[in-house]
A and B are shown apart, each in its own frame.
Chain A
Amino acid sequence: MPLPTSSAPPGKYPSVSIGPAPLLEVRGLSVMFGSGLDSVRAVRALDLDVRSGETVAIVGESGSGKSVTSLSITRLIDHAGGRIVSGRIGFTDRDGHLHDLATETPEAMRRLRGPELAMVFQEPMTSLNPVLRVGEQIAEAVMLHQNVGRDSAMAEAKRMLERVRIPEAARQLTRYPFQLSGGMRQRVMIAIALSCRPRFLIADEPTTALDVTVQAQVLRLMASLQRELGMGLMFITHDMGVVAEIADRVVVMRNGEKVEEGVAERIFDAPEHPYTQTLLAAVPALGSLAAQNLPIPFEVPNAPKPRPQDTVRGAPVLEVRDLVTRFDVRRGLFGRLVGRIHAVEHVSFDLRPGETLAVVGESGCGKSTTGRSIIRLEQPQNGTIHLAGRDVTRLDGTTEKVLHRAVQYVFQDPFASLDPRLTVGFSIAEPIRAHRLLTGAAVEQRVQALLEQVGLSARHAGRYPHELSGGQRQRVCIARALASEPRVIIADEAVAALDVSIRAQVVNLMMDLQARLGVAYLFISHDMAVVERIAHRVAVMYLGQIVEIGPRQAVMGDPHHAYTRRLLQAVPVPDPRRRWREQEVDDTEVPSPLRAIGDLPRLEPLVEVGPDHFVARHRVGGLY
């Protein structure tokens, strides 16, 4: 790293920081990965300021260099294979000393990490050490930097847990990370980060892996703690809704460079750079179709205005009645049955050709199990499933073929759901061969036609999954799903793992295919804003039951069930003037679907409250 440390004019950095000088001042930062000919510049010539008490959001899609920037500031980049090749990272510590973090020694950096610089990461599931107790993990940070004994460090850990509003803090101290929910783990991460009262906090996509209601809780918590402690906060995200919620200033990055910077309101009102404009256009704003009863694809710059998706035709192609899927939980010496997870409880719905029914709800609500039970990836205990009028509840040789040809599945993770050792063409051809739809050269032609149908080209057939981007892979998964000419496609969080702009493209593709082929979608998603774009009807699931179902406009515009309202309120609005920062933090956790034997959940019939709009009028886990 002994390269030029500054590209900025000398004299711009006072040796001692006084008054309004930035807490963090990044100038001309460039970061590279790899060496020799393989080296890649992940960040180039980045300038960035963060002041005390200020929240700066860094926005960008995968590969924009936003995470690399944060790792460079804390110098964790040294352990991730990257190196700072030029630029300086000015940081003023609490004693007023100015450090250049780009050239500090590893030991000096270690001392700064914790009491001065702290980080919260994206994945609360993997960011905590699985073999150490929660209390130990917080107390460790306290003991390292505050010169206190174990007992007082533990007492401090408990205070921190209370501060991040974890109920029964004393008991949680002795638990292990795997015993906590995702939201709880992220609070523990925040407790660790804040345990030494850092002056600067970097949060790298801290809410991306969380459910919307939990995301809302964590965002509010971070905003209030930031004000309490007067920290500088650098918030890295791809989600413009979250940006609008939390940021004072916004820095937009693409391909390692800053393309635009400004006050949040200005960025949202009048984005200057074309990339910022595209990014904002691709952000689905909840409520933007409130006046429209049909779904409409995303608008594409320089293209004709998309038309409403008036594609629903004919009698139901899929009729599900009273579907029940429960999982046994066994414990103890003889594997005694101690409870059941009530994943799906008497779920009923119809799906018509050309229709998209969105199933929404949070992790563990049973939306994925519903989809998996329909194609028998899970074995339901009760219920009937009719496909185009034919009973496919009992699977024998014939009905199995019918079901598996007519109903196809697209999974969330396009990286994991394609075999890395098979070419894309082979994967797409598999359903055609398995169902003996075509033979010989006709298979190849069909594969090519399918690739073109999903916006790829015939030459992609010979590629392997790792040669494609995430968006391209998900297109391949859709092509594979279309190969057997299905009537229904179950899309299980099919766009959740994609970047915003790619997500909009794939949603538009799915809607285009629906218009052309009349395929019906069961669109399982936690993203209400995407659902508003694509769905004709919406079913809201909570603890395994459908609590509200009806036309999208009715359910989202006039929600009747308390849970539906809570879900909709939690969605961040991409408008900095409408942030809910000042509202009270709602810390309720969704109850567990695990119940004792014989303790059956209460079921209430769905009552019609509007045309085709039904609500379960009951209390579910304290909610109505």
Chain B
Amino acid sequence: MLAFILRRLAGTVLVLLTVSVFVFGFVRLLPGDPARLVAGPDATAEDVAAVRAEMGLEGSIWRQYAHYLSQTLRGDFGRSAKTRQPVVAEIGARFMPTLWLTLIAMGWSTLFGLAVGVLSGVKRGRWQDQTAMVLAVSGVSFPSFWLGLLLIDLFSVRLGWLPTGGDESWRSFVLPSITLGAGVAAVLARFTRSAFVDVAAEDYVRTARAKGVPERGVIWKHALRNALIPVVTMIGLEFGFLLGGSIVVETVFAWPGLGRLLIDSVSFRDYPVIQAEILLFSTEFVLINLVVDVLYAVVNPEIRLR
């Protein structure tokens, strides 16, 4: 098990190095002089040279990469071209709101999605299943900005129960997390259902019944744990997507998160911020994948012990 985790970690480092090469190359492949772009059209030659030095664009390509890598490892991503604040501070301020929103949205949608999926699988073909699956298809296909606007209209404007945006109190989390999690819950419900239906047809489920295991035990002990094996992967993927910050939901609810930071930095061509964000998203994904692999081994002894 330890060897398994260490091997995966080694792979993770390799992936991150590759990503760093892409991120590093991204600025250098831009047409024109990125230093001039960042410094602005009115900058003097000295200003541009100063910016170039700050961005690490001097010397041979190898020296530049070595410089970039050592800066990155020390957590120094330079300064934002727009605000002149350190990039780390910019991203740090936006990271926690996105993380909290993601955790809450993932939390409820995972519980809800799994429960609905299992219920549908157990009551396959009956009204509970059909209702749940109609809802799930709606959840997947309903655009999140529209759901967000409807929720604001009902709960904030008409009823006045919840704020329309911002992240001041726990009440601000309710609407964005519902909007963000709806799609995830729908995907997970459908996925869990199909995994559950597959597992329910397995021979070992029949064996459990032949032993006289009560139906509850058949479902929770024998079927669900096997059905969860593919679902775990799905949860990890969804979590990774949400951690990148949802541009749509954060915009609709004026949420000060990474999604909006990304939009802002792209429209301002704030390259240092864009670079750091790409690296952050990749790291998040790779780490989540690592966690998923470990969880996978936990639920599936065949992977753990091989």
Residues of A within 8 A of B (CB): 74, 76, 79-80, 106, 110-115, 118-119, 121, 123, 126-132, 140-141, 144-145, 176, 178-179, 189, 192-193, 332-334
Contact = CB atoms under 8 A, between A and B. Distances in A.
Nearest to B299: A131
Interface residues of B, number: 26
Given A112-B212, A333-B3, A333-B7, A179 B305 contact: yes
B161 to A, nearest CB: 44
B226 A76 contact: no
B210 A74 contact: yes
Contacts of A79: 206, 209
Interface of B is mostly: helix
Contact of B204 (A126, A141, A179): A126
Given A126-B202, A129-B226, A131-B300, A113 B210 contact: yes
B41 interface: no
Contacts of A127: 203-204, 206-207
B301 interface: yes
A109 B208 CA distance: 13
B212 A114 contact: yes
Given A121-B203, A121-B210, 5 more contacts: A113-B211, A126-B202, A129-B208, A129-B222, A132-B221
B6 interface: yes
B213 interface: yes
A141 B211 CA distance: 6
A145 B215 CA distance: 15
Contacts of A121: 203, 206-207, 210
Contacts of A118: 210
B214 interface: yes
A187 to B, nearest CB: 14
B213 A140 contact: yes
B225 interface: yes
Contacts of B42: none
Interface of A is mostly: mixed
Interface in B189-224: 202-204, 206-215, 221-222
A119 B305 contact: no
B209 A126 contact: no
Contacts of B7: 333-334
A594 to B, nearest CB: 13
Nearest to A106: B215
B209 A131 contact: no
Contact of B207 (A110, A189, A332): A189
Interface string B294-305: 000001111001
A176 B204 contact: no
Given A126-B202, A130-B302, A192 B207 contact: yes
B211 A114 contact: yes
Contact of B301 (A119, A126, A130): A130
Contacts of A131: 225-226, 299-301
